Amino acid sequence: MTEAVVVGAEVVAGHDGAAELLVTVRHENGVTGHTILPADVGFAVMRAAGADNLNDLAGLAWGPIIRRVTDV
Amino acid sequence: MFDILIKGGSVVDGEGGTPYRADVALKDGRIAQIAPSITGEARRVVDANGAVVAPGFIDPHTHFDVQLLWDGAARPALEHGITTVVPGNCSLSLAPLKAADRPAVVGMFQQIEEMPPEAFTQAFEWTWEDFAGYRDALTPKLSVNVAPLVGHSVIRLWVMGAASQERAATVDEIRAMQDLLRECLADGAIGLSTSYVDVDAKGRPVPSRFAEFDELDALCAVLGEGGRMLQVVPEFYDTDITIARVDQLAGLSVAHGIPTTFSPLFDSRLTPHNVDRVMARVEAQFARGARVWPQMQTRPIDISFSLRRPSLFFARLPTWVRTLRLPMAERLAALQDPATVEKLVAAASADGGATLRMMADLRVRGGGEAPAHLVGLTLGEIAAERGQDTATALISVSVEHDLDVAFVAASRGHDDTDRIGPMLAHPLMHIGASDGGAHLNSFATYGDTGYLFSEFVRNSGAMTLQSAVKKITADTADIWGLKDRGRLKPGMAGDVVVFDPMTIARGDERPAFDMPGDGMRYVRDAIGIRAVMVNGEMAWTSAGYTDAHAGRICEAA
C-alpha cells in the first residue's frame, strides 16, 4: 500500500480575501483531491514539511506532514 | 392619488418576462397599477425614461445583524438596489441571547465579521434577550426589509451555555432548542442558519459545530412545521466534503419538506471541476425532490495583504517568507537594511521578471496608514515615479508607513467570466453569498448586483437582462418563501429599483470611516441606480438617502 503524496501546492484567493494554500494530494487509492488551507495552517504545513518554497512540497508524503502539524 | 408614479420606464417584472414600456404606480405600500400610460395624480413622479423599472433586489446572505441597529438602510446596500436583506447567516444572530452570553457572541461577530468593538458599546442600546425583542429593536429604524435567520450557535448557547462549545446535546437539551427555535420562527425568524466552518474569537469552533446529526435533524423538524429555510456553511474548501453535505442537506430537505441553501460555492482554475461536481450532485438531489440551493457570488475574489503579517502571497519566495515571519521589530529593521532589501529584490527578480511584473499590478488600498496620494495607484506607477523596481517600491512604501499599507491583487479567484457566467445562469444556482456587512476591513461586500449586470449581462452576455433580474428577485423570493416580494405586479409590495441598464455597475472599492468609533470598512458606491423604493416609499435617489423608514420584517409565504 502506497502513501498519500502531495502532488502540488498553489496560492489561491481565500473567501476572506487572504492568500490561502491549495494542496493537491494523491491518496492511497489513487484518487487525487484538493484541500484549501488558511494562511496559518498553510504556514504550519510548510514548516512541518521543512519546505521553504511551495515547490518543495511536491512529492512529500502527506500523512507525516499532517501528523507533525497536529503535534504542533 | 398615488404615492409614487414611475413614468416611461422599461418594466422588467422579475419573473423573466420580456421588458415592456409601462408606467408603474405605487399606493399604500404596494404596487397599485402597471399600464402603458397612467394618468392619475401622484404625490411624487419619477421619470424613468431610458431606465429599467424592476422589483427591488434581494440579498440572501448578509451579516447586517448589528449594523441594522444604527443604520436601518444597511448602507450602502440599499443604494445598490437591495430592498430586502437576509441577516443571521452562518449560525450567528443577535438573538436569542442572554445578557451574560453577549461577550461570547460579540467575540464571534468580531472574529467572523470584523465588526469593531465600539459597534456593540456605542451604537445601540442592548435591550433584548429574545428574538421578539431584537425584532422590535430593529423595526422602527428600518429602511430596507429584513428577513432574519436565527443562528444555530446562539440557540445552542442559550440552552447549553458554555457546554455548547464542549459536547453534544442531551435529548432534553435538543427538545429545549426545538422549543426555542419554534418561538423564534413565530417571532419573525425566516429560518435557521448553521455552520461547519466558523470559529470564535479564541479560534474555537462555534457552538453549531459541536452538534451531532440528531440535533440538526430535530431542529429541521421544527423548520418543517412551516417549510422554513436551513442555511449552511459547509466545508467549502473541499469538494468531496461539500458533496457529502449536499447529500445530507437533501436528506433533511426531503425528510422535513424544507428548502436548504449552502454557501459559498466558488470557481477556480486550479480546481476546475469543483463546481461541476457539486452541481451534478445538486441536480441529482433536486431530481429526487430535494431542495438544496447552492449560493454563488458574482464578484471575483481579490487577495489583500500587508507586510505587517505573514501572507502566503509570497509563498514561492523563501527569502521573503523568512523575512516576513520575523517578529515585527526585527522585520521592520530587516526591511530597512539595504543588504536584506537587495536579497529580497534579487529573489523577486530571479524568475526573469515575472514576479516583478506581477507586483507591478498590485494596487495600494485605502485604510491603515496608507497615504491618500498613493491610494488606488499601482506599484508599477509608484515604482516608475520613484525610479525603483516594483519589489523595492513595495518594501519602501511599506517601511515608510510602519508596514501598515495594504496591497490588493485583484481578481485572483472566481474571476473567469466565461466559466462563471454559465454557472450563475444555471437554473439551480442561487445568486447570493455577498456577505454584506461582513469582512469589513478586508474587502467591500457591496455592489455584487451591479457587477452581475455590468459583467454578466452587458459585457459577456451570459444572461439576459430579465433573467438576471429574475435571479435576484422572484427566484430569491421563491427560494426563501418571502411573501409578496420579488415581483413587479399589482398587489405585490412596493419594492422597486429604477436603473440605467447601460451603466449599472459597482464603483471602485474605497475606504469609509463610518463605523462606530470611526471604524474603517471598505465600500463601493452604486453606479447607474436612479431610485430605490421600499414598501411604496422613496428610500434613495441620486440625491441620497431619504428620511423614509418603510422597511419591515418580512413575512413568510
Sign, CA dihedral B117-B119-B124-B128, equals negative
Contact criterion met (CB < 8 Å) for A10 and B270: yes
A72: contact with B, CB 8 A cutoff: no
Of B517, B539, B519, B518, which is closest to residue B529 (Cα–Cα)? B539
Q: Who wins on pLDDT, B51 or B511?
A: B51
- Smallest CA–CA separation between A39 and chain B, in Å? 6
Confidence of residue B529 (pLDDT cuts 50, 70, 90): very high
Residue B532 has pLDDT above 60, yes or no: yes
- As given in the structure block, the three cell numbers for residue B227 are 417549510
Contact criterion met (CB < 8 Å) for B301 and A17: yes
Distances (CA, A) of B518 to B14, B97, B106, B372: 39, 27, 18, 17
A14: contact with B, CB 8 A cutoff: yes
pLDDT at B77: 98
d(CA A69, CA B32): 63
Class of domain B1-56+448-505+526-546: mainly beta
pLDDT in tens, B395-426: 999 999 999 999 999 888 899 999 999 999 99
d(CA B273, CA B223): 33
- Radius of gyration of the CA atoms of chain B, in A: 24
Residue B97 has pLDDT above 90, yes or no: yes
- Percentage, residues of chain B above pLDDT 70: 100
Contact criterion met (CB < 8 Å) for A52 and B264: no
d(CA A40, CA A47): 11
Average pLDDT, chain B: 95
Amino acid identity of residue B457, one-letter, is: V
- As given in the structure block, the three cell numbers for residue B238 are 473541499
Strands, E assignment, A1-72: 5-13, 19-26, 32-37
Chain B residue numbers with beta carbons less than 8 Å from the beta carbon of A13 are 301-303, 409, 412-414
- Smallest CA–CA separation between B269 and chain A, in Å? 10
- As given in the structure block, the three cell numbers for residue B208 are 453549531
pLDDT at A2: 72
Structural domains of chain A, count:
1
Of B407, B418, B402, B309, which is closest to residue B358 (Cα–Cα)? B407
Could you give the 3-state DSSP secondary structure of residue A59?
coil
pLDDT in tens, A9-45: 999 988 888 899 999 999 999 888 888 898 889 999 9
Specify the DSSP element, H or E, that contains B522. Answer: strand B519-527
Tell me whether the omega of the peptide bond preceding residue B96 falls within 30 degrees of 0, making it cis.
yes
pLDDT at A72: 53
Specify the DSSP element, H or E, that contains B82. Answer: strand B82-85
Confidence of residue B443 (pLDDT cuts 50, 70, 90): confident
pLDDT at A52: 85
- Smallest CA–CA separation between B537 and chain A, in Å? 35
Amino acid identity of residue B225, one-letter, is: E
Cβ neighbors of A3 (< 8 A, separation 6 or more) are A28, A61, A62, A63
Could you give the 3-state DSSP secondary structure of residue B460?
coil
Q: In chain A, count of helices (H) and strands (E)? A: 2, 3
Cβ neighbors of A32 (< 8 A, separation 6 or more) are A7, A24, A25, A26
Chain B residue numbers with beta carbons less than 8 Å from the beta carbon of A15 are 236, 264, 266, 301
Q: Which class for B149: exposed (0-12), middle (13-18), buried (19 or more C-beta within 10 A)?
A: buried
For residue A14, give the DSSP letter: -
Cβ neighbors of A67 (< 8 A, separation 6 or more) are none
Contact criterion met (CB < 8 Å) for A33 and B321: no
pLDDT in tens, B122-135: 889 999 999 999 99
Specify the DSSP element, H or E, that contains B193. Answer: strand B191-195
Contact criterion met (CB < 8 Å) for B303 and A43: no
For the segment B470-493, the average pLDDT, to the nearest whole number, is 98
Give the up-direction half-sphere exposure of residue B85: CA atoms within 13 A in the CB hemisphere.
33
Residue A1 has pLDDT above 70, yes or no: no
Q: Which residue has the cell 517601511?
A: B399
For residue B547, give the DSSP letter: S
pLDDT at B466: 98
Contact criterion met (CB < 8 Å) for B310 and A10: no
Of A12, A36, A8, which is closest to residue B411 (Cα–Cα)? A12
Specify the DSSP element, H or E, that contains B155. Answer: helix B152-160
- Smallest CA–CA separation between B533 and chain A, in Å? 32
Contact criterion met (CB < 8 Å) for A34 and B238: yes
Contact criterion met (CB < 8 Å) for A20 and B312: yes
Contact criterion met (CB < 8 Å) for A42 and B270: no
Residue B264 has pLDDT above 80, yes or no: yes
Could you give the 3-state DSSP secondary structure of residue B281?
helix
Chain B residue numbers with beta carbons less than 8 Å from the beta carbon of A10 are 270
Specify the DSSP element, H or E, that contains B294. Answer: strand B292-296
- Smallest CA–CA separation between A1 and chain B, in Å? 22
For the segment B316-340, the average pLDDT, to the nearest whole number, is 93
Residue of A nearest to B313 (CA): A19
- As given in the structure block, the three cell numbers for residue B187 are 417571532
Domain that holds residue A46: 5-71
Strands B145-146 and B292-296, by their bridges, are unpaired
Contact criterion met (CB < 8 Å) for A39 and B301: no
Q: CB of B294 within 8 A of CB of B278?
A: yes
Residue B271 has pLDDT above 70, yes or no: yes
Q: State the fold for domain B57-300+414-446.
A: TIM Barrel (3.20.20)
B1-56+448-505+526-546 and B57-300+414-446 agree in CATH topology: no
Confidence of residue B343 (pLDDT cuts 50, 70, 90): very high
d(CA B56, CA B525): 17
Q: Which of B236, B239, B315 sits opposite A21 (nearest CB)?
A: B315
List chain B domain ranges.
1-56+448-505+526-546, 57-300+414-446, 303-411
d(CA B91, CA B65): 12
For the segment B146-173, the average pLDDT, to the nearest whole number, is 98
Contact criterion met (CB < 8 Å) for A16 and B442: yes
- A–B: how many Cβ contacts below 8 A? 86
pLDDT at B366: 79
Of the ranges B204-213, B280-289, B359-368, B457-466, which one carries the lowest mean pLDDT score? B359-368
- List the beta bridge partners of residue B363: B378, B408
Q: Which residue has the cell 435571479?
A: B471
Q: Who wins on pLDDT, B56 or B370?
A: B56
Q: What pTM was estimated for this model as a whole?
A: 0.93
Chain B residue numbers with beta carbons less than 8 Å from the beta carbon of A62 are none
- List the beta bridge partners of residue B512: B521
For residue B199, give the DSSP letter: B
Distances (CA, A) of B388 to B162, B393, B395, B397: 55, 6, 11, 11
CB neighbourhood size of A34 (10 A):
21
- Percentage, residues of chain B above pLDDT 90: 85
Amino acid identity of residue B186, one-letter, is: A
